[in-house]
Amino acid sequence: MSSDLRSSIRSIPDYPKPGIVFRDITTLLGDARAFRRAIDELVQPWAGTKVDKVAGIEARGFILGGAVAHQLSAGFVPIRKKGKLPHATVSIAYSLEYGIDEMEMHEDAVAPGERVILVDDLIATGGTATAAVALLKRIGAEVEAACFVIDLPDLGGARKIRDLGVPVRTLMEFAGH
C-alpha cells in the first residue's frame, strides 16, 4: 500500500479512551484523490464480475459502500443500528467491549442467492463485521467478500471473517489498536 493513501488517515491518540489510537478516515474522505483511490482499490478485485449488492455497516460503511456499489453497478444495502429502518427487518445481537448491541437490515434487502460484498471503514476485533456476515447469510446472501480500508491485525477481526469462509480485502494495516 502506498504511503500517500496511508498518510491520508488521521491518528488520534487516547480516543475514545486512554491507550487507544483512533484511526480517523474523515481525512481520507475529504481528500478527493485519496477517496477515489481507496474506492478504486476496494473495487478492483470485483471489477467486471457480477456483484448484486454491496452492504455497508453504519455509518462510515454507508459512505464507502455507496461509492463501491456505484462503481460495481450494484445495489446498496444499509446495515443499521436497531430501530432505524422503517420496514420489516431481521436483526442480530452482537457483543461489544462493554455489553451487547443489535444491528438490522430490511428483510427484503437481499434475495436468496444474491452475491453481496460487505464494506466498512475498519476491522478491529471483528464483532460487528462477523455479525453482519451472519445477518446477510441468514437471509440467503452469498457473501463474496468483506472489504475494509483499515485492518488492525493485532485484534484478529480479519481472521475471524476469513474463518467464516469469507475473503477479506483491506488496503492498509496499523499495528496495535
pLDDT interval class at 177 (50, 70, 90): low
Q: Are 120 and 129 in contact (CB under 8 A)?
A: yes
According to DSSP, the residues that pair with 46 across neighbouring strands are none
Sign of the dihedral through C-alpha 151, 13, 65, 138: positive
Show the beta-strand stretches assigned E in 6-141.
10-13, 21-24, 53-57, 75-81, 89-96, 99-106, 115-123
Rounded Cα–Cα distance for residues 73 and 47 (Å): 10
Q: Catalytic: 23? A: no
* Active-site pick, 23, 41, 60, 144: 60
* Whether pLDDT at 128 is above 60: yes
Q: Catalytic: 97? A: yes
Half-sphere CA count of 70, side-chain side, radius 13 A:
9
Condensed to tens digits (0 to 9), the pLDDT of residues 59-114 reads 999 999 999 999 999 999 999 999 999 999 999 999 876 778 999 999 999 999 99
According to DSSP, the residues that pair with 77 across neighbouring strands are 55
Instruction: Name all contacts of 29-32 with Cβ < 8 Å and 24+ positions apart.
Output: 29/63
Rounded Cα–Cα distance for residues 3 and 1 (Å): 6
The rounded mean pLDDT for the chain is: 95
pTM value > 0.85: yes
For the segment(s) 48-173, the CATH number from 3.40.50.1370, 3.40.50.300, 3.40.50.2020, 1.10.357.10 is 3.40.50.2020
Per DSSP, 52 falls in state -
Percent of the chain residues past pLDDT 70, beyond the cut: 97
Rounded Cα–Cα distance for residues 98 and 169 (Å): 28
Domain boundaries, the chain: 48-173
Half-sphere CA count of 19, side-chain side, radius 13 A:
0
